[in-house]
Structure 1
């Protein structure tokens, strides 16, 4: 070739190019009959998987380049193929022992159809659910013999041991605090289930899945908690009267004084037209109406015990018997009022005990709140009577000691003079306020009524007395 002229050289290069173009055209015309494959650029795709970071700071791709270069002969300063091969082997060994960091921004859960509303757990509000799942797994795992597979999430790394007692401490001993760790833990358990006979016999993986699903359902049901029962109870406290009921109430308010409108056999209380007229606007409530209404509240509780608190309602004569103006405190005067034969229960088993208090011309209410361990006093004028609560505390200790032979200590109970309550703005609704304090507390409701609703409550109380049924 060196002796060839420039003309022959150019002719040789031209023939070479023509042969090359011919081969390309032949390749296009008859695919598959060519020697060298056509180079195609791969599609770029985003990889949704953890990217391993080597201890030396080199990525996997960099290690691959180093391996390719190790096959080349490098001259000069002694960095040849042997050195690069040893370096690559060392990096590879270190990478296998190095903990693998995981990204948490793309972790997802595949939840079964039974949890239809759940597609992904990735928010801060779901962290509590994942922690609960992890803690439940911890409890099960401590009780079960894991066999040959144990898991360690210390420093956010996974490790599979030989199941010996030395490695038993590696089993989860603290709650998992991030979603990715829990997901990784679940995957290891799933793989361990297939490889370990003991876990397969116990069905631990299936138990974990079912338990996790149940906890997830419980967690998300919290956000869908139905508040309708509480709303129903409050709505029932303000049910409007129908036109027929309003007409009946107005008619009985005009009845003759001596006519017996209704009689309650168990309490021996008869309600005449004169007695019932105390429920008209501007009138003071009398003992008969108050005591019959309290009996109806107790009948309501017995009719629907799950809907109302367990209460006892003393009548208007109890406190005047307990604390006589002449003799003072006298438990013996009321000792037989609460016998088991008479009531069918002990007072200490109640949630609340209501005691109407009549102070000359004013009605107030005292409550022995056993459920919250306190003595309460409610006055529609926000008055305070510590002596009344002191007497009731002494009575309750004597009552429990007499009926149950237990020395009850109420020194830690609070005395509360309720201030956040509806206030009376006239001189005749104190008895009606007292009855509604009792009604709402026995329902487990806050005192959410006002002075403006007193005319409605008067008509409703009259209707309930005529029907002998509190609603």
Structure 2
């Protein structure tokens, strides 16, 4: 035990602590004051804004400046994200450091945006520092975004987001189309209801004088009398004049609106009987002049489909040279099959292209299709109407979406279109 009065010999006098110099780099501990940092673009060393923190510390605790130790950290030397710095007293008063953190958040913020590159800037009361945009910060942000993206994908967030985007696009389309004209439904056009005036006109035509000429088509030289038009009444067989005039109207409809309908050619009811005669057999020369450029204004090879009405004694069927899909089709409302008809048409198409275009077409790989998925008839008089509507729908590019129940309506509509000399 030291003798009294000699304390200075064993216990040196307490001296006030000296101001410490700034040291760098220094590791950062897991507690202490969170102070925003400033990072200069490029590979410059990040500098912590410690001056404001020290001033706040002095105001709050009223202690001398040299009582605290500050450390500057090089953020590029560490892999862990650095967004805080330790500022503690020599006697480890952590509570004072926490109080300083709360005060510093009031003084320093990261809520300003650099107008040049959109990056955040550190702003205090006195000055605005440079933008926080270093390569290391970008790399860490990118890695964090990738981790979040993988987690969102695992939770099905991507599908949810896509559905939300689709819903937004649909709402935007409906909004921008409010002032546009409504889009016509192509499938509803063949079933447009007739007006009272049109129904009355057809009824009056059926009941007119038997030999009256109702309409005359100049280009085809076809006259339709009351007697011929009456074949469109329920239960009647269609005749050649009504069928051939309707096919002419279908071709005129295409010429009137070429973008709306397929490019087709419609042979009349006499073509196949000329091409294949029961006495002489196949004879291309009998129909060679039917398709000259002077008469048609186009070549058959340039068409999408070629329609050939087939009359078999008392039954109408349809054959199609489907150039667009490279196949020969046969449509019979009784679902019959006639391979010899398609064989003859394949031979005809080869001869026609060689004669008009001087090109040899190989149709050996073209398919022969006897269409089975088609509307059927159950009576003995609607075959002609079925054949006309097969051509009507196919030339529109539509499936055969009608039934035998529509035949009564189609008969009246066809009569109306013939009386107006305009197919719709």
TM-score (norm: length of structure 2): 0.63
Q: Cα distance 1:288–1:230, how it changes in 2: closer, same or farther (>3 A)?
A: farther
User: Which of 284, 290, 296 pairs up with 2:237?
Assistant: 284
Higher relative CO (Cα under 8 Å, sequence separation at least 6) belongs to: 2
Name the counterpart of 2:401. 448
State yes or no: 1:60 paired with 2:81.
yes
Distance in 2, matches of 1:35 and 1:433, equals: 97
Name the counterpart of 1:308. 261
User: Which of 138, 145, 166 pairs up with 1:103?
Assistant: 145
Please report how far the alpha carbon of residue 432 of structure 1 lies from its aligned counterpart in structure 2 after TM superposition.
Answer: 0.2
Distance in 2, matches of 1:427 and 1:235, equals: 28
Distance in 1, matches of 2:394 and 2:379, equals: 23
- Structure 1 runs, 4 residues or longer, greater than 4 Å off: 61-65, 104-107, 124-127, 223-226, 228-231
Please report how far the alpha carbon of residue 125 of structure 1 lies from its aligned counterpart in structure 2 after TM superposition.
Answer: 9.3
Q: How do 1:248-397 and structure 2 match up within 5 A?
A: 248-397=201-350
Please report how far the alpha carbon of residue 350 of structure 1 lies from its aligned counterpart in structure 2 after TM superposition.
Answer: 0.6
Please report how far the alpha carbon of residue 64 of structure 1 lies from its aligned counterpart in structure 2 after TM superposition.
Answer: 7.2
Secondary structure at 1:38 match in 2: helix
Q: Which of 235-244 and 267-276 deviates more?
A: 235-244
Secondary structure at 1:277 match in 2: helix
Please report how far the alpha carbon of residue 38 of structure 1 lies from its aligned counterpart in structure 2 after TM superposition.
Answer: 3.1
Distance in 2, matches of 1:440 and 1:55, equals: 76
Please report how far the alpha carbon of residue 104 of structure 1 lies from its aligned counterpart in structure 2 after TM superposition.
Answer: 4.2
Name the counterpart of 2:416. 463
Distance in 2, matches of 1:35 and 1:296, equals: 96
User: Which has a greater percent of strand?
Assistant: 2
User: Which has a greater percent of helix?
Assistant: 1
Please report how far the alpha carbon of residue 59 of structure 1 lies from its aligned counterpart in structure 2 after TM superposition.
Answer: 2.5
Distance in 1, matches of 2:336 and 2:308, equals: 16
Name the counterpart of 1:414. 367
Q: How do 1:215-230 and structure 2 match up within 5 A?
A: none
User: Which of 155, 179, 194 pairs up with 1:241?
Assistant: 194
Secondary structure at 1:380 match in 2: coil
Q: Cα distance 1:35–1:62, how it changes in 2: closer, same or farther (>3 A)?
A: closer
Count of matched residue pairs: 299
Question: C-alpha offsets along residues 215-235 of structure 1, whole Å, 9 cap, x if unaligned?
Answer: x99xx69x9599x99853222
Q: CA-atom RMSD, angstroms?
A: 3.8
Structure 2: segments with no counterpart, 5+ residues:
6-54, 62-75, 89-135, 150-156
TM-score (norm: length of structure 1): 0.57
